[in-house]
Amino acid sequence: MKSLKSLIGAGVAVAMIASLAACGSSSASGKTELSFFANNTQDLYQPIIDAFEKKNPDIKIKFSTTNGAQAGYQQTLQTRISGGQLADVYVAPPEQLNDLVKNGVAKDLTDESFMDRIGDTNKAQSTIDGKVYSMSVTAWTNAYAYNKDLLAKAGYDTIPETWDEFIDMLKALKDAGVDKPYLEPKAGLGALVEGWIGYDSSKQSKSIDQQIGDGDSTFAKSYTKYYKEWAKLFGAGVMGSEVTGLADDQVRSEFAAGRLAVMPSGYWDVNTFKNAGINFAFGRMPMLHKGDTPFAPGSADSGYAINAKIDGKKLEAAESFLDFLSSEEGLKLIQDNLGLIPATKNYTPDIDATFTEPYDLYLKTGNVYLNTLGWPTSGRSALRAETFAQLQQVALGSITPAQATANLDTKLKTLS
């Protein structure tokens, strides 16, 4: 009895120490403490925070983050809001912006002076009912990474303009002894059709996916022809059903090892490929017809939002933090440390030489398109996951592109 009591006593003591240790760091010395919740790691953000704190000695940033994966960030953000624990400044993913505004946790930034610097595409993506709720300063685009040495084997030095020419090139590569000319990761199958849909949408008043989301069109009507074009890869024998079992990293490793000729990629891979010591560059993603304006999958990156519930000194601090992030100094730091491409009016970024073609084609022009943005907000991520599941079945030959799009329509119905 006695020993049990003393043991429990010891346990309680340890627990108290634990809770004391947890309470150890309270805010100090009259500085305004600004909490910041980001979707990237602290070592990457620290130089940006250091520079800001140096300029604003009376503000201290309390950084927090969550696991790298995008879905994980969204889940954590949502959970924290449900418990009333939202940070003062946070990264607002476009998929969630509607919900954030609906729940009154994103401050209206429309009239802030720093918003003048933001590019129109990025602004449009953060706008709901005419008001801008987040400050997105960077943008991303897909591009084809290609191995110059392997392409040279078949007599090519860059990615051709049209899809049919591209498939011919892959055939030529295969004949030239390149076993794997082209691979897509299982959770990125058919990504390039978004470029095609983007171009066709640019000729209409409402994007094709918006029409599907609003019920004016269906996947069966709009998507089938694109998926049929994509499925030519399998008919031509230049990509096999093994892609249904390949994760992103595996495709990247194949390319880095110099065995793969072409893969869908982006600016984030530049350093990985450079370190791998291969002779590579980033090129266009082919369009369906000659003369089509080049489009690629892409969009504005998640923007920075201010918690609508803060005021006074904290609000001032939050505004000066956003002002700093969109200043030339901040943007340069963001590009150098986070590897994102600034897309604002006040700053022209230096782009790595291997990436100039896609930068000029897509980001400078704003010719990027993301299908999910047109879909109903609840269930976007589930529907996107479903497109990959359906295309995997097309790749396996168990269903046709027409069946895949019909299944997507069914799924959409269950989600709304």
Partner 1 sequence: MISAPASSAAGAAPARAIGLDRNLEAIHAKDRKRRNLMENLTSVRFLLPLLAVYIVIVLIPFLQSIVFSLTDYDGYDFANAKFVGIANYQAIFQDQTLLAGLGFTLLYTIATTVLITAIALPLAVTLNRKFFGRNFARSLFFFFSVPSMAVLGLVWQYIFSPLGTGAVNTVLGKLGISPVPWLSDPTLAKFCVIFIAVWAQVGWHATLYLAYLQAIPADLYEQASVDGATRGQQFVHITLPQMVPAMGVSIFMLLTGGLKVYDLPFTLTTGGPGNATYTVTQSIIVTGIGSGRYGVGSALGVMFFLCCVILVALQQIVTSLIEKRLS
Partner 2 sequence: MTAQQTMQQTSPAAPASHGLSMSQRERIRSAIRSVVVIAIALICAVPLYVVVVNTFKNSGDMAADPFGLPTHFTLENYAYALENLPVVQATINTLIVTVVGVFFMVIIGALAAYGMVQKRSRLTAGIGAFLMLSFVIPGQTLLIPQYKMEAQFGLVDTLLGLIVLYLAGATFCYFLIVQYMRGLPQELFEAARLDGAGPFRIFWQIVLPLIRPILVTVVVFETMWTWNDFMTPNIYISSTEKQTLVLQVFNAMGQFSTNWPLFMTITTIALIPVFLFFIFCQKWIVAGLVAGSVKG
Contact residues toward partner 2 (CB under 8 A) are: 1, 3-4, 7-8, 11, 14-15, 17-19, 21-25, 35, 37, 39-44, 62-70, 72, 75-76, 79-80, 82-85, 87, 249, 252-253, 256-257, 266, 268-269, 271-272, 275-277, 339
Yes or no: say if 378 and 415 are a contact pair by the CB < 8 Å rule.
Answer: yes
Looking only at the bridges linking them, the beta strands covering 32-38 and 89-92 are: parallel
Q: Name the binder of 215 from partner 2, partner 1, none, CB < 5-8 A by kind.
A: none
Residue of the chain from 55, 102, 289, 364 that contacts partner 1 (CB under 8 A): 102
Shortest distance (Å) from residue 80 CB to partner 2:
8
Q: Which two tokens stand for residue 22?
A: 């947890």
Q: Name the binder of 393 from partner 1, partner 2, none, CB < 5-8 A by kind.
A: partner 1
Angle at the Cα of 48 from the Cα atoms of 42 and 52, rounded to 5 degrees:
125
Please state the φ and ψ torsions of residue 348, each to the nearest 5 degrees: -110, 115
Run of H or E residues at 60: strand 59-65
Q: Which residue has the tokens 């003048």?
A: 116
- The Cβ of residue 112 has, within 10 Å, a number of other Cβ atoms equal to 17
Which amino acid, one-letter code, is at 66? T
152 binds partner 1 (CB under 8 A): no
Residue of the chain from 164, 168, 254, 292 that contacts partner 1 (CB under 8 A): 254
Smaller CB distance to partner 1: residue 232 or 259? 259
CA distance 395 to 17: 57
- The Cβ of residue 2 has, within 10 Å, a number of other Cβ atoms equal to 6
Length of the chain (residues): 416
Q: Which two tokens stand for residue 302?
A: 């998640």
Residue of the chain from 33, 99, 168, 323 that contacts partner 1 (CB under 8 A): 99
Smaller CB distance to partner 1: residue 6 or 378? 378
CA distance 154 to 263: 17
Smaller CB distance to partner 1: residue 251 or 270? 251
Interface positions, 201-220, toward partner 1 (CB under 8 A): none
DSSP category for residue 137: -
DSSP category for residue 258: T
Residue of the chain from 89, 92, 97, 105 that contacts partner 1 (CB under 8 A): 105
336 binds partner 1 (CB under 8 A): no
Interface positions, 392-411, toward partner 1 (CB under 8 A): 392-393, 395-396, 398, 407, 410-411
Q: Name the binder of 174 from partner 1, partner 2, none, CB < 5-8 A by kind.
A: none
Q: What share of the chain is helix, strand, coil (3-state, %, to 5)?
A: 55, 15, 30
Footprint of partner 1 on this chain (CB under 8 A)? 71, 74-75, 78-79, 81-82, 96, 99-100, 102-105, 179-180, 186-187, 241-247, 249-250, 254, 257, 259, 377-382, 385-386, 388-390, 392-393, 395-396, 398, 407, 410-411, 413-415
